[in-house]
Amino acid sequence: MPFEVTNYLYALARRLHLDPAEKDEIIMELEAHLEDKAAELESQGMDRDSAMSRAVEEMGAPNTVARGMYEVHSPGVWRDVLLATIPHFLLASLFALHLWSQYFLVSLLLIAIAFVTWRNWKAGNPSKWSYSWMGYTLAAPAISWLLALITLGYGAWTLVTTGQLPFSTILFLLLIGYVPFSMWIMASVIHKMLQRDWLLASLTALPFPFLTSWVLFLNWQGGLWSDHSERMQDSDTARALIFLAMAVTTAVFLKVGPRLLRIGLLTVSTSILVAITAASLPVSLGATAVVLMIVASLTFLLSPAVLESKLERRRLAAEGQGPGDTLDGQIDWTTD
């Protein structure tokens, strides 16, 4: 195959954030189409090299073709949509029925979600619906990592100021070992997601700001095991509605095709839900605090785009290319 065609298909494949099997099938179809078009041009008297160049030119820029293919092939089937919303509905039920303080039940639920997620990801080609499940699977190590980091910071500050740890040395050392371990787990999974599509990583991260704010508020109220369930139950209805809204957001995300619509959907829904979360807390927060919460949540939610861009630059550097070394010389951030 001519280098020009190989380069074109390679550039297109890098922008085609789809299931690997779908991507391979599309690339094979486009390759066959280029061959047919070149053969047609050859039959009209054009030489082989010129015919292939013309076929590639008429196909269109890689980012444009990839965008079109993504919009056609990325929407999930209704089975994927329904399965993807199940974890959100389960969490909404826990809050609606005031069962979140039944920690044994919550643990069983999280273990079940993690098991289903592991079974799906074990095959190496996770389904679209599994990304929302992965969000709750990663919630435990992510939130425990945050709490461990807070505890370490408190312990270190107390040690420096008083000369004594507020808890045992063994626990302090265990926390020091747990922080990098949990971070490694999350980083490994996120790296795998970014190889597919940073938007799916953002979809996975959708519950994190809301789960984190809830756990941090519980911790501020005295910890998970303190007797504050009655006060916290005042916000259970709002929390249940938030997770129902996340289920709707996930369903719409998987059914729409254009990437800009998906980005806009995550941005708008997250901003609204963070504002609702702030309003539902049994404390008074000023407008500045709410805006900062929204900005922090959006920064976290869209950070996979930055991570994917860095990984892409490293990969191109390893291959001896620049970020613009494609046939069209452009990179469209809505498809990369």
Angle, CA 321 vertex, CA 318 and CA 325 arms, to 5°: 150
Q: Whole-angstrom Cα distance, residue 14 to residue 7? A: 11
Q: What is the DSSP string of 98-156?
A: T-TT-HHHHHHHHHHHHHHHHHHHHTSS--TTHHHHHHHHHHHHHHHHHHHHHHHHHHH
pLDDT of residue 221: 61
CA distances from 277 to 240, 264, 291 (A): 11, 20, 12
CA gyration radius, the chain: 24
pLDDT of residue 152: 84
Instruction: Look at the block and give the residue holding tokens 């030489």.
Output: 47
Residue 197, SS3? coil
Instruction: Look at the block and give the residue holding tokens 């939610």.
Output: 301
pLDDT by residue, tens only, the chain of 336 residues: 667 788 888 888 888 888 877 888 888 898 888 888 888 888 888 888 888 888 888 888 888 888 888 888 888 889 999 999 999 999 999 989 888 878 788 888 888 998 998 888 887 778 889 999 998 988 877 777 777 787 888 888 888 888 888 878 888 888 888 888 877 877 777 877 877 888 888 999 899 888 887 777 776 665 554 555 555 566 788 889 999 999 999 999 999 988 899 999 999 999 999 888 888 776 777 888 889 989 988 998 888 888 877 777 776 676 665 544 443 433 333 344
Q: Whole-angstrom Cα distance, residue 267 to residue 39? A: 47
pLDDT of residue 227: 54
Q: What is the pLDDT of residues 132-171, one digit of tens each?
A: 999 898 887 777 777 778 788 888 888 888 888 887 888 8
Confirm if 11 and 327 have CB atoms less than 8 A apart: yes
Residues ≥6 apart with Cβ < 8 Å to 24: none
pLDDT of residue 231: 55
pLDDT of residue 268: 94
pTM summary value: 0.79
Q: What is the pLDDT of residues 245-263, one digit of tens each?
A: 999 999 999 999 888 999 9
